[in-house]
Amino acid sequence: MASRNDDDVCEEENIEGYNVDGQEDHFQYEGTEHVHSEVYWNSEYIFNEDAEGHLDEEEEHIGDRADPENGKHIVVRLSPTTADMVISSDEDEGDISKELVDKCISDDEKSEEEFRKYPEFDENATFGEVQLQLNMLFLNLTMFKKAVADYNIAVGRVFKFVKNDNERVRAKCRSDGCKWEIFCSWSNEVKTFKVKKFVEPHTCARGFKNKQANKKWLATQLADELRSYPTISAHDAFEWFKRYRGIHIDEHMLYGAMRLARTIVEGSEKLQYQKLWDYCEELMRHNPNSTFGLQVNRPTLELPPTFDILYICFNTNVQGFKAGCKPLIGLDGCFLKGYYEGQLLSTVAQDGNQHFYVIVIAVVEQESRDTWSWFLTNLLADIGQYSDNGWNFISDQQKGLKLALEELCPGTPHRNCVLHI
C-alpha cells in the first residue's frame, strides 16, 4: 500500500513497489506535487529521456510508468545522490540507449579507440613501400629513425638529424631551400611515439649517392639477397644496389658491407671458434678410428683459452688414399681470410681419375719449421712411416718444410713443384 503525506493531492492507489531503504514507498502522479523519495521499481532499468521536463533543480528524473490498473501515468523521482537509473516503460522495454552504452565503455576501450584513430607504422614494409604520415605511431625511436632513412634513400634524398635523443627526433633535408622536415616524440595521449610535425614533399633534386646508405644499412639490405645467392660477387652486388635500390656505392664500403652481410647470414666467425670442442667431439663420435686434435693457448687458468692448432684426419680418407692413389703426397699451405686469419696446411694425392684427393688438413697460426714438424709427425702416424710405404713428397718452397722433412724423413724422395724451381 502506498503511503502519502497530508499535502499530497494524488489519488490513493494500491501499487506494489520496492523501497531501497526498507521504508514505505512514495509515488507521485504526473502533474501533482513532487515528493522527496528514493524508490527503485523491481523492473528493468534504462535511461529514459521522455520525462525530461519533470526535472527540477534538486531532483533527477528516474523514469515513468503507466499504472497497470487505471492507466494513469506515474512519475518516479530520485534525489541527485541516488544512482542514475530509470524504470523502463512498456514501449522502451528491451532497448538500450546510446547514452548507457557510452557510459559502459571502460577507460581501456576508450584508449584503444584513441589509439586506432592514428595510423601505425608498418615495420614489415619492404624497401620503397615505407610511408610516413602526420600522427603516425611508432613503437620506439629506433624504428622511426630506420623508417626515415629507408624513406629518404628510396626517394634519393639526403637528410640530417638536427635533434636526436631518447625522447624526440627531428630530421630535416640537407639541401638548401628544401623545407622537408619530420618530428617525432612521446605522446601522453596514446602512450607511444607519434609524428607531430611532417612537412613534405622534398623540393630538391634526386641524387644517387646517399650518406645514409652506410655499411650497416647496405649489409641489412644485402643479407636477403645473399641467402638466395651465396656466391654473389662484389660486381653483382654493386649492380644490384644500382638497379633495385637506386644508389651508387663506394667500392671500399661495398666490400665491408658484404663481409658484414655474411656475418648476418652465416654467423660470426669469432663465435664459431667457441664451438670447436663440440665439433671435434661430434667428429670422433661419428668417425671411429679417425684423428682430431685441438690445441689451445692458456698461459694461466684465470685467462680463457685461445685457439692455436686444429688437426683433422678422417680414417676413411686414409684408407681410400692407401687403396686407390699413387704414393705421391703433395704438401701445401695457404692463407686464411677471416677473423683469426692463420694458415691452412694440407696433404693431397692423385686418384686413378687424375683428381685431387685430400688426405689430411690442419689450421695453424703460421708456417714455420715447428708447425711443419708437428704436422708431419701426426701425418706419418696416421698414414704410416715413409720407409714402410715408399711415400714420395712434392711441394713448393714452403717456409721450414724442407728442414722438417730432412729431420723427420731423412733420405725420403722430395721434389719441388715446377713452378717454384
Report the distance separating Cα 134 and Cα 182, nearest Å.
Answer: 9
Higher pLDDT, 101 or 326: 326
Query: Quick one: average pLDDT of 59-74?
Result: 45
Query: Quick one: average pLDDT of 370-387?
Result: 91
Does pLDDT of 149 surpass 90?
A: yes
Cell triple for 241: 644496389
The one-letter amino acid code at 50 reads D
Q: Phi, psi at residue 388, to the nearest 5°?
A: -90, -20
3-state SS assignment for residue 109: helix
Q: What pLDDT sits at residue 102?
A: 54
Q: What pLDDT sits at residue 106?
A: 52
Report the distance separating Cα 95 and Cα 371, nearest Å.
Answer: 93
Whether 321 contacts 340, CB under 8 Å:
no
Q: What pLDDT sits at residue 421?
A: 57
Report the distance separating Cα 221 and Cα 245, nearest Å.
Answer: 9
Neighbours of 287 (CB within 10 A): 16
Torsion sign, CA atoms 409, 411, 412, 415? positive
Tens digits of residue pLDDT in 239-270: 999 988 888 888 889 999 998 998 899 888 77
Q: In the chain, where are the structural domains located?
A: 1-104, 109-207, 215-267, 276-420
Q: What pLDDT sits at residue 113?
A: 58
Report the distance separating Cα 284 and Cα 69, nearest Å.
Answer: 100
- What H or E segment, with its residue span, contains residue 349? strand 343-350
- Confidence class of residue 47 from pLDDT cuts 50, 70 and 90? very low
- Confidence class of residue 207 from pLDDT cuts 50, 70 and 90? confident
Whether 293 contacts 329, CB under 8 Å:
no
Q: What pLDDT sits at residue 343?
A: 93
Query: Quick one: average pLDDT of 303-314?
Result: 92
Nearest to residue 420, comparing CAs of 394, 400, 393?
394
Cell triple for 192: 607511444
Report the distance separating Cα 45 and Cα 5, nearest Å.
Answer: 27
Q: What pLDDT sits at residue 110?
A: 53
Angle 243-248-250 from CA coordinates, rounded to 5°: 135
Q: What pLDDT sits at residue 99?
A: 53
Residue 193 gets which letter from DSSP? E
Nearest to residue 87, comparing CAs of 98, 74, 101, 99?
74
Whether 392 contacts 412, CB under 8 Å:
yes
Task: Note the pTM of the prediction, 2 decimals.
Answer: 0.51
Angle 111-115-120 from CA coordinates, rounded to 5°: 160
Tens digits of residue pLDDT in 315-348: 999 999 999 998 999 999 999 887 678 999 999 9
Q: What pLDDT sits at residue 112?
A: 56
Average pLDDT over the chain, rounded to whole?
A: 77
Whether 222 contacts 257, CB under 8 Å:
yes
Q: What pLDDT sits at residue 18?
A: 40
Give percent of the chain above pLDDT 90: 40
- What H or E segment, with its residue span, contains residue 335? strand 328-335
